[in-house]
Amino acid sequence: MLEELKRLQAHIAVVKNRLAHFERENTSLLASKQQSDEQYHAHLTQKNSIITQKQDEIDSLQDHLGTLQSQYKQLNQDASTLADRYNRLEKSCTDLKNRFQEILNERNELRVVKEKLQNDYKHAQQEITSLKQEQERLIQKNEQAKSKVEAIIHRLSVLGTEQDQYTQEIQQLANPAEQNEENS
């Protein structure tokens, strides 16, 4: 029995050692669990903070997305308006191009008319010069004829006066009685 008692004591000592070991291990595990729980809570808090931050970012991005979609819609409307304006400008350019071509054609026609008028003007100037020369010649001829006519008239008047005297003398000789009456 002593042996059994020794054996039991040895078992008790082993069990006590094991119990002490398990208690230390349990204490260590409890401390480790508490530290792990604290780390988990810290990690969980950090993750919750990150989730909150990410949710805020998502909300901000959704607001920004809404703004960008609104801007996109506005830009599409602006692009449509600009396309309409471009089409109108293109039509206006075509109209202006056609009008410019018409103006060029009119200018060319006016240039032809101008050249014709210039030629007509040159011919008219030449004709005027020719007519002035003709007028000068005719004026000189007229002056010469006038002086000749005046000379003829003068001669005729001289001749007429002489002839009148001769006629009077002839009449006096033919009708001496009438002459006496006129003198009285």
Query: What was the pLDDT predicted at 178?
Result: 56
Give the pLDDT confidence score for residue 122 in this predicted structure.
Answer: 95
Please, are residues 172 and 179 in contact by the beta-carbon 8 Å criterion?
yes
Q: CA-to-CA distance for 46 and 53, rounded, in angstroms?
A: 10
**Average pLDDT over every residue of 14-27:** 90
For the chain, the C-alpha Rg in angstroms (whole number) is 73
Position 163 scores a pLDDT of 63
Region label for 175, one of left (φ > 0), alpha (ψ between -120 and 50) or beta (otherwise): beta
**pLDDT higher for 24 or 1?**
24
Lookup: tokens for 86? 């471009």
Q: pLDDT value at position 139?
A: 92
8 secondary structure, DSSP code: H
